[in-house]
């Protein structure tokens, strides 16, 4: 596979469930990102990892927990979510350690619905 892949593409979960989103990049990039995209709203940056170290957390609720075991993989662990967390969750990667002056490559996203 090439580019940035995300699994699953669609996820429906109850508020008491625990699930994980997976992202994998095949581009040899050093930085990875999680974004949330709600209807008619701008992409919201959730987490940034540079060289496997978290460098940014935009005050995201603790019910979202990221994990970056290596430079190619990124996870977003979900637990006790709320219906307002329903959104498209996008993973992205970039060449540079910080994403500065670097284009970002996005995965197809996971459409999450919380019941």
Partner 1 sequence: SQKIEQNSEALNIQEGKTATLTCNYTNYSPAYLQWYRQDPGRGPVFLLLIRENEKEKRKERLKVTFDTTLKQSLFHITASQPADSATYLCALEEIYNQGGKLIFGQGTELSVKP
104 makes contact with partner 1 (CB under 8 A): yes
Q: Identify residues 18-37 at the interface with partner 1 (CB under 8 A).
A: 33
Helix (H, G, I), strand (E, B) or coil at 32: strand
> How does DSSP assign 46-89, residue by residue?
EEEEETTEEEEE-S--TTEEEEEEETTEEEEEEES--GGG-EEE
97 makes contact with partner 1 (CB under 8 A): yes
75 makes contact with partner 1 (CB under 8 A): no
Nearer to partner 1, 16 or 28 (CB): 28
99 makes contact with partner 1 (CB under 8 A): yes
Which of 41, 59, 83, 84 touches partner 1 (CB under 8 A)?
41
CA 22 to chain centre: 8
We find the least distance from the C-beta atom of residue 109 to partner 1, in angstroms, to be 5
Q: Is the Cβ–Cβ distance between 6 and 60 less than 8 Å? A: no
């Amino acid at each position: 596979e090439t580019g940035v892949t995300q699994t699953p593409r669609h996820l429906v979960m109850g508020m008491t469930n625990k699930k994980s989103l997976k992202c994998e990049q095949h581009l040899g990039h050093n930085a990875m990102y999680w974004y949330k995209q709600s209807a008619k709203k701008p992409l919201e940056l959730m987490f940034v990892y540079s060289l496997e170290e978290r460098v940014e957390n935009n005050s995201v609720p603790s019910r979202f927990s990221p994990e970056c075991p290596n430079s190619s993989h990124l996870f977003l662990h979900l637990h006790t979510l709320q219906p307002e967390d329903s959104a498209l969750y996008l993973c992205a990667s970039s060449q540079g350690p910080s994403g500065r002056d670097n284009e970002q490559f996005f995965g197809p996203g996971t459409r999450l619905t919380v019941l």
